[in-house]
Every structure is written in structure tokens, then in C-alpha cells.
């Protein structure tokens, strides 16, 4: 499939007014996307667990308007107008306009909220862009009822990617690959695809407890961080490593090899942050408590043999990953030893989930 296949031919149906509602989850990358080319094309393939509880819920109301000069929308966050979110949505609409020719024909009201606490330091761009993309595809399907499910989901992921790269992995569950990889059939730089290999039982209901270390605004956005991979001294080697790690984690996921999984996931998290520290200008997003938590996890794993590990996204929070079978022990450990490193003792319990859900 190429970008051209995602530009619709004439629509067969007409609708004037209505609304849709979708929830879309966050996702946590196991092999990280860090570095991109023009038009949101990733520099390397990535793979993620789709989450279940951290979600954005978005209602999109549409009404045909008289004029067709420009995109018009109202934006509500938690029921209130939210001016600060508008530029991101405007940019998204501009990027997707060529693929959704109906956009200028309607006035939209976007009403959105998250299930996770406000300013928890959890990025809502992945779930937010995914939920909006699903709604827009619902409208396109009204205009073209012959659309297949396959096209619907692929194009939703494609649109979400244009909003925020990692958002393309928030459409489907439960393990998603984004970016062309020699060993993943159907993989594409244009959209995320569900991992088609067997996922061993141990990984099917994997837990992700997100420790909220720092809820403040990040000093360096992901978009700026990606940009710093241009001309980065280790970039090419890093991109090649991501291909190798994706092959290795694919095998671990299929075989249920938790210890190989842990080695890849933790190395990926630290490599991501190493890329930040070796960018020019360089920066550090981890906080002292991030390192405290990592060291405690390593000690606990060594002392008990319980297969718990961590990963990080572009921030200070720590995602603690573990099989469901050891959930009681790990939650006991988190409460006893890690809570003191969390801001206001806060953490969020999540787990592998199934992807976006329609609520209409």
C-alpha cells in the first residue's frame, strides 16, 4: 500500500450531521522510535504493547456548513474550551487534509478527555491523535460505506501517525509494529500493523505499572528530540540496532522468553536516553528518582528471581513491566520500596489491551 492508495476517490454517500465517539489507548514502546525523516516517516521500526487503562475518549460531532473555505472546529477538553490544544489539532488537520477531502465541508466539535490524571507526565498525544483519527475514519466510512475493515484500520493508523508518530501504534492491540522490517510481514513506515506472529501466553496479559516520578512539563519535547537524531554521531548504528532488537524481541515474544525480553527492553530504554545525552545540544530527561527506581528493580530481580523490568519513554516516569503471575509480589514491592520515589506516591496500574473501541 502506498500513500496514493489512501487518497479516496469520489464518495458514494452524503451525510449532513451526526456524531461518533471512540476511545483509544496509550501504548508503550519496547523497541523505541527515536528519529524520523520528512512526513513522519520513522528512521527505524518500533514495536509496542497497546495499553488498556490509559485512554483518550473523544466525541466528534460534525455538521455540513455553507462555505468550504478552510477547516473549522471547536475544541473542548473535559467539557471546557481549550485554546492551548488548538495549534496541534490545526497542524494535524492540515497534514491529513489531502487524504480526507471532506474536511472542509463540515464544522466539527471535538470533545475530548483522558482517563489518566491531568498533567501526570503521561503523553496524551498518542491516544489523543488515535481517538481523533478513528472518529474521522468513521465519518469517511459513512461517506464510503463499501470501505473494508482492513482499509479503515490501516488508514486510521496512517492518519494518527501524521498527528504523532507513536499514535499509529494506538489503533490496534495488543502488540503493534510500525516501520518497515524485513522479518515482519506487512510492516510499513506508513502505519502500524498488529504483530501477526504468535504471542506467548506469558506476554498476553503483561502488566505495566507506571510510576509517576515527575509530572512537570518536559524541558525538551519528543519532536525536538527526534530532530536531534539528524547528524547525531551514533544515529546510523542506533537505527541498525533497532532492526536487530526487533528481530530478537519478536523471537522472545513468540517463545515466551522473558529473560531475553527483559534484556532487550531495558537496553532499548537506556539507549533511548543515551541518544538524548549524546545529542548536540545534549539533554537529560531522567531524574534522580528514575535511577533510584531502576537500581531497586535490578536488586529486587536479583534477590528474588522475579522477572520484573523497566522501560522509559521520553520522560522521567518509569514503566514497570511484569507477567500477571507475579503481580501480587511486584505490587507489594512497588508499595514497599518504590512509592517514596513517586511524586505524591502516585502510580497507575495498566496492562496490555486490545486497541481503540467505538462508543457510539
Tell me the CB-side half-sphere exposure of residue 229, using CA atoms within 13 A: 23
Contact 181, 45 (CB under 8 A): yes
What DSSP string describes 301-318?
HHHH----EEE--SSS-E
What is the rounded distance in angstroms from the CA atom of residue 43 to the CA atom of residue 31? 13
Pairing mode, strands 175-178 and 309-311: unpaired
Q: Is residue 320 a contact point for ligand DP6 (CB under 6 A)?
A: no
Pairing mode, strands 46-64 and 17-31: antiparallel
> Which SS3 state, helix, strand or coil, does residue 219 take?
coil
Q: Is residue 50 a contact point for ligand DP6 (CB under 6 A)?
A: no
What is the smallest separation between the CB atom of 328 and ligand DP6, expressed in angstroms?
A: 29
Stretch that binds ligand DP6, among 28-36, 73-81, 99-107, 241-249 (CB under 6 A): 28-36
> Which SS3 state, helix, strand or coil, does residue 231 take?
coil
| Element at 274 (helix H, strand E) | helix 258-277
Residue nearer to ligand DP6 on the CB measure, 61 or 171: 171
Q: Is residue 273 a contact point for ligand DP6 (CB under 6 A)?
A: no
Q: Is residue 174 a contact point for ligand DP6 (CB under 6 A)?
A: no
Q: Is residue 165 a contact point for ligand DP6 (CB under 6 A)?
A: yes
Contact 19, 360 (CB under 8 A): yes
What is the rounded distance in angstroms from the CA atom of residue 345 to the CA atom of residue 220? 25
Each as own residue / partner, the long-range contacts of residues 37-42 (CB below 8 Å, 24 or more positions apart, any chain) are: 39/162, 40/95, 40/161, 40/162, 40/165, 41/189, 41/190, 42/165, 42/178, 42/179, 42/189
Q: Is residue 125 a contact point for ligand DP6 (CB under 6 A)?
A: yes
Contact 117, 345 (CB under 8 A): no
What is the smallest separation between the CB atom of 11 and ligand DP6, expressed in angstroms?
A: 29
What is the smallest separation between the CB atom of 77 and ligand DP6, expressed in angstroms?
A: 18
What is the smallest separation between the CB atom of 62 and ligand DP6, expressed in angstroms?
A: 25
Residue nearer to ligand DP6 on the CB measure, 291 or 331: 291
**Contact string 178-217 vs ligand DP6 (x = CB under 6 A):** ----------------------------------------
Stretch that binds ligand DP6, among 33-41, 246-254, 298-306, 333-341 (CB under 6 A): 33-41
Stretch that binds ligand DP6, among 80-88, 161-169, 279-287, 289-297 (CB under 6 A): 161-169
Judged by CB under 6 A, which of 52, 166, 187, 289 binds ligand DP6? 166
What is the rounded distance in angstroms from the CA atom of residue 51 to the CA atom of residue 46? 16
Judged by CB under 6 A, which of 141, 215, 226, 232 binds ligand DP6? 226
What is the smallest separation between the CB atom of 167 and ligand DP6, expressed in angstroms?
A: 6
Judged by CB under 6 A, which of 20, 22, 33, 77 binds ligand DP6? 33
What is the smallest separation between the CB atom of 13 and ligand DP6, expressed in angstroms?
A: 33
Residues that bind ligand DP6 (CB under 6 A): 29, 32-34, 40, 46, 123, 125, 164-166, 222-223, 226, 272, 313-314
Amino acid at each position: 500500500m502506498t500513500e496514493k492508495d489512501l487518497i479516496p476517490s469520489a464518495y458514494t454517500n452524503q451525510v449532513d450531521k451526526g456524531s461518533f465517539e471512540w476511545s483509544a489507548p496509550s501504548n508503550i514502546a519496547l523497541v523505541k522510535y527515536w528519529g524520523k525523516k520528512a512526513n513522519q516517516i520513522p528512521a527505524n521500526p518500533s514495536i509496542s504493547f497497546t495499553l488498556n487503562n490509559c485512554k483518550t475518549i473523544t466525541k466528534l460531532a460534525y455538521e455540513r456548513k455553507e462555505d468550504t473555505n478552510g477547516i473549522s472546529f471547536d475544541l473542548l477538553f473535559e467539557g471546557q474550551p481549550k485554546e492551548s490544544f488548538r495549534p496541534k489539532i490545526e497542524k494535524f488537520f492540515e497534514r491529513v487534509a489531502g487524504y480526507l477531502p471532506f474536511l472542509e465541508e463540515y464544522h466539527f466539535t471535538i470533545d475530548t478527555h483522558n482517563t489518566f490524571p491531568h498533567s501526570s507526565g503521561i503523553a496524551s498525544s498518542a491516544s489523543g491523535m488515535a481517538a481523533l483519527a478513528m472518529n474521522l475514519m468513521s465519518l469517511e466510512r459513512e461517506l464510503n460505506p463499501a470501505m473494508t475493515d482492513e482499509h479503515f484500520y490501516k488508514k486510521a493508523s496512517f492518519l494518527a501517525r501524521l498527528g504523532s508518530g507513536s499514535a499509529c501504534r494506538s489503533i490496534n492491540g495488543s502488540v503493534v509494529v510500525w516501520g518497515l522490517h524485513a522479518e515482519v510481514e506487512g510492516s510499513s513506515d506508513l502505519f502500524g500493523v498488529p504483530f501477526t506472529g504468535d504471542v506467548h501466553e506469558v506476554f498476553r496479559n503483561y502488566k505495566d505499572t507506571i510510576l509517576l516520578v515527575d509530572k512537570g512539563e518536559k524541558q525538551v519535547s519528543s519532536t525536538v528530540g527526534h530532530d536531534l537524531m539528524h547528524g547525531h554521531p551514533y544515529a546510523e548504528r542506533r537505527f541498525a540496532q533497532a532492526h536487530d532488537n526487533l528481530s530478537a524481541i519478536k523471537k522472545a515474544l513468540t517463545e515466551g522468553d522473558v529473560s531475553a525480553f527483559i534484556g532487550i527492553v531495558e537496553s532499548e530504554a537506556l539507549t533511548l536516553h543515551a541518544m538524548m545525552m549524546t545529542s548536540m545540544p545534549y539533554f537529560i530527561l531522567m531524574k534522580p528518582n528514575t535511577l533510584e527506581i531502576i537500581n531497586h528493580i535490578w536488586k529486587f530481580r536479583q534477590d528474588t528471581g522475579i522477572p520484573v523490568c523497566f522501560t522509559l519513554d521520553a520522560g522521567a516516569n518509569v514503566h514497570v513491566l511484569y507477567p500477571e503471575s507475579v503481580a501480587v509480589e511486584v505490587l507489594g514491592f512497588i508499595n514497599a520500596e518504590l512509592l517514596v520515589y513517586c511524586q505524591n506516591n502516585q502510580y497507575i496500574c495498566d496492562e496490555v489491551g486490545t486497541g481503540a473501541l467505538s462508543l457510539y
